[in-house]
Each structure stands twice: as C-alpha cells, then as structure tokens.
A and B are shown apart, each in its own frame.
Chain A
Amino acid sequence: MSWPLPWRRRERELDDELLFHIEAHTKDLIADGVAPEEARRQALAIFGGTAPIKERLRDVRGFPFLRDLGRDVRGGVRMLRHHAGFAAVTIGLLALGIGVNTAMFTVLDAVIFRPLPYANADRLVLLSMTPKDFDGVYGMPSEVFADFRDVDRLLDGMAAFTNVQAALLVPGGEPTPIGVRAVTSGYFSTLGTNAAQGRTLMTGDETPGRDAVIVLSDGLWRRWLGSRPDVIGTYVTVDGVVRRVVGVMPPNTGALLQSDAWLPMILHPAVGNEEWPTVIGRLRPDTSREQAAAELEALQGPHIKAQGDDPTQWAASVLPLKDYVVGDVRASLFALASAVGFVLLIVCSNVASLFLARTEERARELAVRAALGAGRARLTRQLLTESLVVSAAGGAVGVLVTLASTRAIAAMAASAALPLLSTVNVDRQALAFAAGLCLLSTLIFGLAPAWRSRRLVGTSMALGRTTTLGDSRFHGLLVIAQVALSLVLLVGAGLTIRSIRNANTGFPTQHLGTLTVNVPPSSYPSTAGLASFHQQVLTTLVTLPGVRRAAAVNFVPFGNNMLAGQFTLDTGRPWPDNEMAYNLCVSDAYFQTMGVRLQNGRSFSTADRPDSGKVAIVSESFAREFWPGESAIGHRLSETDRPTDRDWLTVVGVVDDAKQSNIDQDIPLTVYRPIAQAPQRLSIAHMTFVLRTDGDPHDIAPSLRTVLHNLAPGVPVPAIRSMDELIGERLISARFQARLLGTFALTALALTMVGIFGVLAYAVSRRTRELGVRLALGASRARIIISVLRRSLLLALAGVAIGSAGAWGLATILQDVLFGVRPSDPLTFVVVAGVLVLGAVGAAAIPASRASRVDPVVALRSE
C-alpha cells in the first residue's frame, strides 16, 4: 500500500534528522576516545532507540490526525488480514445486520417516505362521506359524486372508481380472471398520467352505448396480447361485453394504476345497495383539504336527508391520497423495521464481544505502544479506526445482502398487495443509509473495546499477564442483552404467527368453493326471475360430481363486498351508536353448506316465500346483545326506521357466530334473510354460490362452466375461488409480516447462540490455566462441564427475565394487529423462553466439553 508523498517524505526526514544526531554524537564520543562500537551504542541509548521519539514526533507534526488515520486504517487492514477468521466472522455479522436494515429502509423509503409517483402528488386527496365516530375510508354514493363534480370549484379534477374481478377473453384464448377498475373519465387526468399508446378514457366514454372501450395495462398487453403493436382498435371481451382497446398504459404506473385494465364507469342513479365508489381528487394549489371537506359536507347533506338519514351523523373527509394507498401497511412496516433494528443491535453486541476478546489478547501490544509514548487518546483512536475498517467492510458486503434481501422481501410481499412495493430499488439514498449504519454500529461496538483498552494499558504491563478482571462481567452483559433482544423478537414473531393460526372463521373452510356471478340487468330484469335463475343454478350445482352441498349468499364472507346496517328492534331499545349488523340474503341450505351450526329454531325453507311472513335468522351474538337472557325466537326486527307491519322480520332461528369480512373482528352481529324475501332486485343481483366439495373445489371448474353456459349463455363464467383463497387475501399482509418477523427472529436466535458460544469459548480458553489447576487438584470433568453450562444458563435466564419485560411492552403495542391471542399469551412466552434457554445450553455444549478436556499438564505450562 502506498501513501501520498508528503507523508512518506516526512517519515524519511524524521529518520534523517535523528540519524544525523546519532552520527554526530557518535563521532564526538569517538573523538573523546570511546571505542566506535561502544560510542554508537551510547549515542543510541540516550534516545532509548529512535522509536519512542518518532512516536512523539508524529504527534507533534503536521496533520497528525489525518496521517494517523491513514496509519490506523492500514493497521486495521493488516490486523484483519492476519486474523482471517476474526475478519470473516465480524464482517459477515455486520454485513448481515447492515444489509438487512438497509433493505428494510429501502422498502420503507419506497412505501412510506417517497411521494406517490405522480406529479404534485401531495395535492392528491381521497374524498369520502364517513359516518361520524367511525374509522375507515368510505366512498360516496355515485349521485353525490356526480353532483359534487358538477358544482366543485376547489379541485383540479376528480374521479370515482370501483374495483371488480372480471373474466377477460382475448381472441383465440381461454377466459382469464383479471382485476379491472371501472373509472370515471377524469381518473387519468386527475392523476396526471398518459397512455403509452392510444389514449386514456375521456368524457365521451361515459355515455351509455359508447362505453364499450377499454384501456389495458402494460402487463396485460404483454402477457395476453403478446405485445402486439397494432393492439389499438382491436377487440377483447370482458365479462361478456366486447370492448374496443383504445389505449395501453406505460409500465410501473404506481399503486393507483395497478390494475389489469380500466373501463369507463357509468354513473347511474343508485338504488339501495349499490356499492359506493372510491373518489379521488386533485386540490388546486390554493385550496386546503379543509376547504374541500367543507364544500363536500355542504353538498352531501341534502342527499343524506333524502335517504331518510340524519346529515349530522355524517362527516366529509378529505385525506391525503398517500394515507389511503399506504393504509395499514405503515404500522406493520415500522414493526418490521424495529425488528431489524434489534437484529443490528444483536450483531453489534456480538461484534463488540469479539472485538473485546481481540483487544484483551492484544493487551501486551497496546501496553508496549503506550510505553513507547503513544497517548491513550491515540490508542483509543486506533482501536476505533480498526472498528471502522471492519464495519466499512461489513457495510460493503452488506450492500450485497441488501440487494438480495430487498428482492426477497419484495418477493414475499409480491402476493401481499403491499402497495408501492413494485417501486422498491436500492438507490443512492439507501447506500447513504448503509454508510450511516456503518458509522453508528462502529460507535456501538467499537467504543466498549476502546474504552477497555485504556484500563488494559494501565494494568497489563504491571501485571505482566494478559488476564484482567472484570472482562467476564462485560461479556456477560453483552450476552444478556442479546438474549433479551432475541426474546423480544421471538415473542413478537410467535404472537403474530399464533394469531394467524388462531384466526377462526366460525366455519370449516376446507373444500369450500365460491363462485360469484354478476347477472346483468338485461338478462333477468325482475326480482322473481333472478331468484328463479339462482334456484336453477343451485339445483344443477348439487348434481355435479364432487359437490356435496351448494347454497347461495349475496355477500359471501371474505368477499370484496359486504352489506351492513342498523335495525329497529321490537323491544324499543335504540340501536347502539357505532354498531352495524351484517345483513345477508341466503338460500335454504346455506348454514348446512357453510357448516354454521343452527343453535335454536329452524333454518330457512321453501316455505319462506315472497308473500309469506317475513323471517330472519340472527347470529348468537346478535341474539345475546339485543334479547339477553331470553330466547330470540319470535322476536321481531326491521331494516326500516319506522316499520309498518309488512316491514317486520320475525326471528325463526339462531346460528353460531361466523366471521364475515375480517378475520380479526370480534363479534360479527349478523342477520340472515331468505333470498326469496330479498327486499329488492339489487340486493341479489350480485350472488355468490358456495359449494362444499369432496376435494379441491377448483377441480369442478370445467363441469361448472358447462352448466352455467347452458343455463345462462349471456352470463360470464367467473373463476372458482376457494374460501381459503378469499381468507388468504385478507391475511396476506399479516402473513407477510409474520413470515418476515419469523425470519428476523430466527436470525436473532442464531446470532445470539453464536454470541453465547463465542463468549463462552473465549472464557474457557482464557481459563485454561485455572481449569488445569482445578483438574490437577482433583475436580471431576463433569463438575467443570456443569460450571460452564451453569454460567450460560444464568446469563440466558437473566436475559429472558429482562427480555420478558420488553416483550410484554411490545406485545401491548402489537395488540391492535393481533387477533385470537392475548399479548401476554403464556404459551408463546414459555415456548420462546424455553427455546432461548435450550439454545443457550446448546451453544455452551462445545465450550463446556472443551473445558473438560483441558490437559492439566499442558495448561499449567501455558502462559
């Protein structure tokens, strides 16, 4: 390695100056009659050799800091080269810690810190009508949106959209399920994006009759249309409607454009159960969110009143669009980020104890340097620089880890629909972050050894031995810290995993298929016609081979849509605020098919006709909530506020609770009604058939397609989705989180075991002499093994005790994202603590057996 000239020249000048002095002195001594050999010895002796003076001269001259830095870096590199094992382990550990943290930062940066990939994204907002005291994002009824769009002056554009699953049929292909977004014409202009080919949707496309157009995503165009260049103007069939391709969007268009295709949405006056579209807008530069909210609030009032509702119960909310896109991911990403932070801390404490061991081995070298005139500050600086060299190397390798693990995180999240994750990439910012982490970890793991070196320098020479007291206590503290940190991570991961395992739906989900059919109004205009079509489908479905039972429900549990509302009760008790009950229309065999147990009364039957007395079945929690201490059978309830005789529903049965939309909901109050008595056509236009099958529900897809085709040629046949798939989609984020947390926690566990192993192995090697004496004095080998294991066990127990307190604190924070498991879940704590203690004993096994095999004779001779 070569250094810039000025430094080398200075070194040479130092040599010259001192040599001149020595030569001159020697010559004078010879002139005084001293023998030449002796003269030179004396001249040198006065200096005590040139080394110490040079050491001090270096401190006096020029830029000692910069030059020393260069020397120390060189020294650090040399040290690493001579101790390849030490270098490999420390650099590897740091690479892991820094790499994973940088990967996590990259993900956080892409998902949370960076603005949405649209021009002036900070002005994009989500507008919604929201019931007061109710969390969550709604949309608004399309007629409110239409009015709002007509009168608004505060926005630079606004658009409504809904997501639908649809079947795509390209010429010469099989029908494929795709995710489609129906959008109003302003959608693309509001976001400020343009088509890569052709055009986006325009106002004219919203006119009925001229709306059979479609804009394709880049992905769809490549996958299903083979990137054909002349795609504009060709036709594809979506859910049975032939549509002309008018545009193809560019790739990587951001979360809001993540859809396979876009269709025009036609706003029509809504009746009853219509799904509310989501509404986005772009604020004018001079408009605040509050102003827009005030405008919307003023406008929505009359609409709410017209629906017979109280406008004061509703608020208008205008939120930054970013919040909507990022959603719940924020909390879970921060949880993961702190998890990897813990991993880095464990890495640092591991590296610190390795460095500490190295420093103590080098006590003699350091003491000699101190004696030669190097100041204590100088030695501290040297050790810190060596630490920095190690962490810089670790950081460099860590970037490779980042590249690999960012890809792995993105892959794990690929199915998790984590918004914006597609935009993740390791950039300059991430590299700067990694560099920052290098410095930070150097401070964390480098300071302890540097600080200890000061005491070593003071004592070692005097003692003449390299052993110092107190070091084992310091190593012990590091191990305790590692165990505690691992415990927190393992408990966090354990609770998350348990909570997913515990996710109980209230009905068996295996071999349960769902098939959602959207019947166009043109096919079956009347409620009765539609009901009989459903009946026909049902009777045919049960005849299919492999199908045991079949039933229908208008809003299937864990489907995309749900209908919930408030009811009037016969007891006159007012409906509680902030409470909604699911309101479902089901066919006769629904409960048997789903496996929801009938507790009391009867199920629906063919006797429940449109003209017979209106009936309902309620869930157990509903019955308990509103008619506590008595049978719900015979009680009445109504959907309307002031029910007439015809509006009352009589409860004929009570069923077990079953989850409806979220696996983590507590008590899903639910009211079921027979399809035959559905209040209006719209409540059953959207119907899902549920099938209990012998095997994988997907197996019956081909025969199902034939059946539906024969029954209703105009109705598109959607794909069969198993209940597990539907639930899986809801749990994807939680699973993603659990998988990552689990990975990090296992990494932490492994690191901790390595740490314990390292500390004990080092301690044993340091105690070789003592162990030898004890063996020579007749201590049994078993006793020695036990003494090593006991130390490990005590450290682990201390760590477990401290970590438990931390984990309990963490779990209370996690409470909101956990379901079906208490934060103080004893099983998790006991298992995790057990694993850690076992791990500690396991890690101690090799050092313990090594200690027992110490040869007393060799041990006593060492030193």
Chain B
Amino acid sequence: MQPDKKADVLQGTLDLLILKTLAGSPLHGYAIAQRINQISRTLLEIPQGSLYPALHRLEGRGWLDAEWTDSDSGRRAKVYRLTRKGRAELEREIADWRRLSQAIDWILQT
C-alpha cells in the first residue's frame, strides 16, 4: 500500500477540483466528493484517503474557510467555503491547467 505515490500524482489536480467545486457554494467533505463524482460523470473518483488531508491543507493555506453546521442527521458537519485568497488561487490554477492541457494537446496531435 503506497498512498504517497498516488497522492503525489493527483495532488495538484485534486486541489484544483476542490477549489472549483467550492466556487459555486459551500459544501461539506462528503458533498464535495459526490459533486466531483457527479459532474465528471463518475469518470473521476476522488481517492477518499486524499480528500480530507487536501481539505485541511487548503484550509491551512487560507484558501478555504470552514465552519461547523448541524446536519439533518443530527451529526455536525464541517462545511468548507472558498475564501477570497482561494478564489484568486483558483483563477491561477485554472490558467495553469489550460496552459498545461493545451501543451499536452499539441503534443498528442503531432
């Protein structure tokens, strides 16, 4: 079992996906995973082991805010929201991603 390797590959992308997902509205961790799953038409499965570490890391960098709310099941849920800093970061990462995928496209087309 080598979770480290997988996380390394996905790390940059996972951050981008989380930020993008939260750009719409605040969500808790499970909902983020579900949303990514749905929108990507289940092509992308969030590795559950990496989600929470990523969330906490982004929170630590000040890109996400979190607060506890009561859910209907009675258990508290931790809801994450994009901060202004996070929004700027999202813009930057989207631009980066576009450049990267454009480059890969060009390579694949040759």
Residue positions of A touching B, CB distance < 8 A: 13, 16-21, 23-25, 27-28, 46-48, 52-53, 56-57, 59-62, 371, 373
How far does the Cβ of A29 sit from chain B's closest Cβ, in whole Å? 12
Which of A16, A27, A48 has a CB less than 8 Å from the CB of B76? A16
A–B pairs, 23, beta carbons within 8 Å:
A13-B78, A16-B76, A16-B78, A17-B29, A17-B77, A19-B75, A20-B28, A20-B30, A20-B71, A20-B77, A20-B78, A23-B73, A24-B30, A47-B49, A48-B1, A53-B52, A56-B3, A57-B52, A57-B53, A60-B60, A61-B60, A62-B60, A373-B3
Residues on B with beta carbons closer than 8 Å to the beta carbon of A371: 1
Give the complex CA separation of A16 and B30 in angstroms. Answer: 12
Cβ–Cβ < 8 Å partners of B73 in chain A: 20, 23-24, 27
Residues of A within 8 A of B68 (CB): 13
B52 CB contacts on chain A under 8 angstroms: 17-18, 21, 53, 57
List the B side residues contacting A48 at CB < 8 Å.
1, 49
A52: contacting residue among B30, B49, B77, CB under 8 A: B49
* CA A48 to CA B28, docked complex, whole Å: 20
Specify which chain B residues have a CB less than 8 angstroms from the CB of A16 in the assembled complex: 75-76, 78
Q: Is the CB of A60 within 8 A of B57?
A: yes
Q: With CB as the reference atom, state the residue of chain A lying closest to B29.
A: A21
Known contacts A47-B48, A56-B53, A57-B53: A17-B3 contact under CB 8 Å: no
A371 to chain B, nearest CB (A): 6
Interface size class of B (residues with CB under 8 A): 20 to 34
Which of B31, B53, B78 contacts A60 (CB under 8 A)?
B53
**Interface presence of B85 (CB below 8 A):** no
Residue of B nearest to A19 (CB): B75
A17/B78 in contact, CB under 8 A: yes
Asked if A46 contacts B48 (CB within 8 A), the reply is yes
Task: Please pick, from B49, B60, B77, the residue contacting A53 in the complex, using a CB distance under 8 A.
Answer: B49
Q: Which residues of B contact A18 (CB under 8 A)?
A: 52
Chain B positions 56-77 with a Cβ under 8 Å from a chain A Cβ: 56-57, 60, 68, 71, 73, 75-77
Query: Bound state CA distance, A300 and B14, in angstroms?
Result: 91
Provide the residues of chain A in CB contact with B71, threshold 8 Å: 20, 24
Among the interface residues A19, A20, A25, which one has the most CB atoms of the partner chain B within 10 A?
Answer: A20
B31: A residues at CB distance < 8 A: 24
B-side residues, CB < 8 A to A, are 1, 3, 28-31, 33-34, 48-49, 52-53, 56-57, 60, 68, 71, 73, 75-78
> In the assembly, what is the distance between CA of A786 and CA of B28, in Å?
69
Give the distance in Å from the alpha carbon of A17 to the alpha carbon of B76 in the complex.
Answer: 8
State A17–B33 Cα separation when bound (angstroms).
14
The answer to whether A20 touches B75 (Cβ under 8 A) is yes
How far is A473 from B45 in the complex, measured between Cα atoms in Å? 49
Bound: A371/B34 CA distance, A:
27
A373 to B2, CA, bound (A): 9
In the complex, A47→B28 CA distance in Å?
17
From the candidates B28, B29, B48, B56, name the one contacting A61 in the complex (CB within 8 A).
B56
Shortest distance from the beta carbon of A143 to any chain B beta carbon, whole Å: 85
Min Cβ gap B108→A in Å is: 33
Contact of B75 among A23, A25, A53, A62 (CB under 8 A): A23
Report yes or no: A60 in contact with B56, Cβ–Cβ below 8 A.
yes
How far apart sit A376 and B55, CA to CA, in the bound complex (Å)? 23
Min CB–CB distance B91 → chain A (angstroms): 24
CB distance from B95 to the nearest CB of A (A): 26
Contact present for B56 and A57 (CB under 8 Å): yes
In the assembled complex, the Cα of A47 lies from the Cα of B53 at a distance in Å of: 12
> Within 8 Å CB of A59, what residues of B?
53
Chain B residues whose CB sits within 8 angstroms of the CB of A20 once the complex forms: 28-30, 71, 73, 75-78
Q: List chain B residues, Cβ under 8 A from A13.
A: 68, 78
Q: Give chain A nearest CB distance to B69 CB in angstroms.
A: 11
CB distance from A66 to the nearest CB of B (A): 15
Q: Which residues of A contact B57 (CB under 8 A)?
A: 60
Q: Which residues of A contact B33 (CB under 8 A)?
A: 21
Q: In the assembly, what is the distance between CA of A24 and CA of B30, in Å?
A: 7
Residues of A within 8 A of B34 (CB): 28
A60 and B76 alpha carbons, distance in the complex (Å): 22
Greatest chain B CB density within 10 A among A27, A60, A62 is at A60
> Considering the chains assembled together, what is the distance between the CA atoms of A25 and B34 in angstroms?
9
Residues of chain A within 8 A of B1, CB atoms compared: 48, 371
Complex Cα spacing A17 to B52, Å = 9
Closest A residue to B45 by beta carbon equals: A46
Cα-based distance from A37 to B31 in the complex (angstroms): 22
With a cutoff of 8 Å between Cβ atoms, the chain A residues found around residue B49 in the complex are 47-48, 52-53, 56
- Nearest to B46 among chain A residues (CB) is A46
A48–B1 CA distance with the chains assembled, in angstroms: 11
Chain A's closest residue to B3 (CB) is: A373
Residues in B with CB closer than 8 Å to A27 are 73
Rounded to whole Å, the gap between the CB of B50 and the closest CB of chain A is: 8
State in angstroms the CA–CA spacing of A19 and B52 once bound together.
Answer: 12
Q: In the complex, how many angstroms separate the beta carbon of A43 from the nearest chain B beta carbon?
A: 9
CB distance from A420 to the nearest CB of B (A): 57
* Residues of chain B contacted by A56 (CB below 8 angstroms): 3, 49, 53
| Distance A20 CA – B66 CA, assembled complex (angstroms) | 15
Q: How far is the CA of A24 from the CA of B77 in the complex (A)?
A: 10
CA of A53 to CA of B52, assembled, Å = 7
A20-B28, A21-B52, A24-B31 are known; give 16 further A-B pairs, CB within 8 A.
A13-B68, A16-B76, A17-B29, A17-B52, A20-B77, A20-B78, A21-B28, A23-B75, A24-B71, A52-B49, A53-B49, A53-B53, A60-B60, A61-B56, A62-B60, A371-B1
Q: Which of A23, A56, A61 counts the most chain B CB atoms within 10 A?
A: A56
- CA–CA, A27 and B68, complex, Å: 20
A14 to chain B, nearest CB (A): 8
Give Cα A23 to B30, complex, Å. Answer: 10
Chain A residues within an 8 Å CB radius of B60: 60-62
In the bound complex, what is the Cα–Cα distance between A24 and B71 (angstroms)?
Answer: 10
Q: What's the nearest-Cβ distance from chain A to residue B81, in Å?
A: 15
Chain B residues, CB < 8 A from A28: 34
Task: Report the bound CA distance from A508 to B109 in whole Å.
Answer: 109
Compute how far the CA of A16 lies from the CA of B29 in the bound complex, rounded to whole angstroms.
12
Smallest CB gap from A22: residue in B: B30
Give Cα A828 to B75, complex, Å. 79
B65 to chain A: closest CB distance in Å? Answer: 15
**Cβ-closest chain B residue relative to A52:** B49
Nearest CB to that of B48 among chain A residues? A46
Contact of A21 among B3, B30, B76 (CB under 8 A): B30
Provide the residues of chain B in CB contact with A61, threshold 8 Å.
56, 60
* Alpha-carbon distance between A59 and B76 when the two chains are bound, in angstroms: 23
B58: nearest chain-A partner, CB-CB: A60
Q: State the Cβ distance, A13 to closest chain B Cβ, in Å.
A: 7
Q: Which residues of A contact B29 (CB under 8 A)?
A: 17, 20-21
Closest to B71 in A: A20
Least Cβ distance of B44 to chain A in Å? 15
A48 vs B50: C-alpha distance when bound (angstroms): 12
Give the interface centre of B1, B28, B53, B76 by most chain A CB atoms within 10 Å: B53
Separation of A62 and B60 alpha carbons in the complex (Å): 7
| Cα(A748)–Cα(B73), bound, Å | 68
Complex: A46 Cα to B34 Cα, angstroms = 14
B3 lies within 8 A of A52 (CB): yes
